[in-house]
Every structure is written in C-alpha cells, then in structure tokens.
Amino acid sequence: MSNVAAAPLIRAFDLAAFEGATGADREGRARELDRICRETGFLVLSGHGVPEATVQGVWEAARRFFALPPEEKAQVSAPYPGYPYGWLGPNREALARSKGEDTPPDLKESFNGGPLTRPEGIADPDAYAFCYAPTLWPDLPGFREAWEAYYRALEDLAARVMRAMGVALNLPESFFDSYLRAPVSALRALHYPAMPEAALPGQQRAGAHTDYGSLTILRPQPGSRGLEIRDPYSGQWTEVAAPPGTFVVNIGDLMARWTADRWVSTLHRVVAIPGQPARQSLAFFHQPDWEAEIVPLDGSDAYAPVRSGPYLRAKFTATGT
C-alpha cells in the first residue's frame, strides 16, 4: 500500500437528484458528471434506488456459494476453456495480462452469470456460444432467484446511468436506448480469500486492468479495503472508499473508445494486503447489444468501428491462464 494517496479522488454523483432536476440545476449536474468521466472515469453513486433487500439477497446467496467445498462449486465450473459463466476457481485468471503484464494468477474466485433472456435472430453464432450462453446454476435454494432479482435491478440502473451519461455528452437523453435492446451484460460475484501471508511477487487480488465495456457498477463489501485506481495524471495509486449503501461506477474501454477518449477508462486493481480478511464484491459489467456498432461519437476517425460483442469476446480471452 506504499505510494497510495490518502486524499479522496473519487467524486460522488446522486442519480436521483439528477433525474429530478430541471433547468440550470440539471445542466450543472450533467456538467459535473462529464467532468468526473473526463478526469478519472470513477464515481461513487448514490440515489440509485436499488432496494437494500435485493442487494442483501444476492450478497447472502454468493456468501453461501463461496462457502461450499471446492468439489461442490466445481459442479458449475466452466465446461471448457473460454466458457464465460459459472464458477471460476482460484488461479484461473490474471487480469493484468490484458495490459500485457505477465503476473501470477489473481488471488480470487468468482461466480459469473450472463443475460437473463436470449434474443433470436442474431446472425453471428459466437453471440450464442459466448455472451448468451446459459448460466450454470448451483443447487442452492433461492440462489437463482436472488441472483436474477439483482441482475434485473442492475440492468435497469445501468440504463438509467447511461441516460444521464447521454445528457452529460450533450446528446438526447434517450440516445443510448437503441444500443441497449438486448445488452450482453454480465454479473460477477467475487470472493477474495483472507490474506494470511505475503503474495507472490507481482501478485494481487486483482491485477491492474481496465474494464472492457461501457460501464461497471460495483458493490463492494462495506469496510473492505484494497480497491485502488491510478490517477491518470500523476500516476499515483489512490484507494477507493465507498460509503455504505452506494455503488462505485467506472467507465470501461468501450465507452472511452465511443467518446474518442473524452472519457477515461482508468487502470485499477485490488491489492493483496498481508493480514487482510476475506473480501467479497459484486460487479455488474454493462455492455451494449452484441451487434451494436460502436463509432466515435464526435464523428472522428480516432477509432475504427467495432461491434460490441466481438470486441468484448476478444478482450475476455486475453485474461485466461
């Protein structure tokens, strides 16, 4: 944790206050959102409207799953390399590799699930083999119901955040709606085991990386430590602290590309701190429709057009071990 800034770098944004604002107040809040996304791409989100009971339901479901013996969790492990959903056990992922850094595997395990509905008529077979592949459900009473309730709540929240972001980009509030008819978003429950001793050289709970999609909505465990972002200007690492009941939202690579780097996808990590207790978090990775064509919004040729789904798949395959 050396060379980590103590001063807060992450600004707050009240979504409900923005949605209820009018006139100059609304314009000011949109400018502030634009400023946040330009400077760090990270914010603490309040006024989100997600019921605490929905959060606690999936939180407890994930806790019960991770407490199972490895052989039981393995019953819902990916059936073959590259399958995106189910249990991903320890030593299976090194996120820093997506940035070209060769590190030991991250100190974590995860359960992953994809879209709750499967649209028809997509010409690309990779869509059904990857993003729309079935989630593998553990045999735990109430797990699927709690997971799906949270997924629906976060899918709705992500759409609301994207509308606010449309206004912040001086676009119609509904601009992004047409890209989100069947999003290929994913929900990941993460468990970081307790840290009784030092990690291997270069090893973290989650290596330094940027997220891949439009935005990520993270629910960290209250009081947990270790999430850090690197200041895009100073290069200094800053610890992220989120008040209870809030989410941490950050811009992903696809949104940075979409805005021709007006908004930043910031490097972040979860550091391995000797002696730290186990840590849990919930990450919702929001991603436009598989076929959505992403072209720089400023009309420039800063980036070539890409399709949302194939772009995500290429990013995903770069992190496996």
Mean of the per-residue pLDDT values for the chain?
89
Q: Fill in the amino acid letter for 222.
A: P
What percent of the chain is helix, strand and coil (3-state, nearest 5)? 30, 20, 45
Residue 202 Ramachandran class (φ > 0 left, ψ -120 to 50 alpha, else beta): left
- Walking along the chain (321 residues) 10 residues at a time, the average pLDDT comes out as 51 97 98 96 96 98 96 94 90 65 74 95 92 96 98 98 98 97 96 76 74 94 83 86 93 97 90 80 96 97 96 76 42
Identify the three-state secondary structure at position 18: helix
Bridge partners, 189 (sequence order): 111, 282
* Segment 190-245, tens digit of pLDDT: 998 877 677 767 676 777 788 999 999 999 888 777 788 888 888 889 888 889 99
DSSP letters along 90-120, please?
Answer: TTSB-GGGGGT---PPPS-EEEEE--SS--S
Question: Contact at 8 Å (CB) between 50 and 154?
Answer: yes
Tokens of 226: 């270790």
State the pTM of this model. 0.91
Please report, for residues 69, 209, 257, the alpha-carbon distance to residue 267 in angstroms, rounded to integers and kept in the order given.
33, 5, 15
Q: Which residues of 134-151 are buried (b: 16+ CB within 10 A; e: fewer)?
A: ebbebebeebeebbbbbb
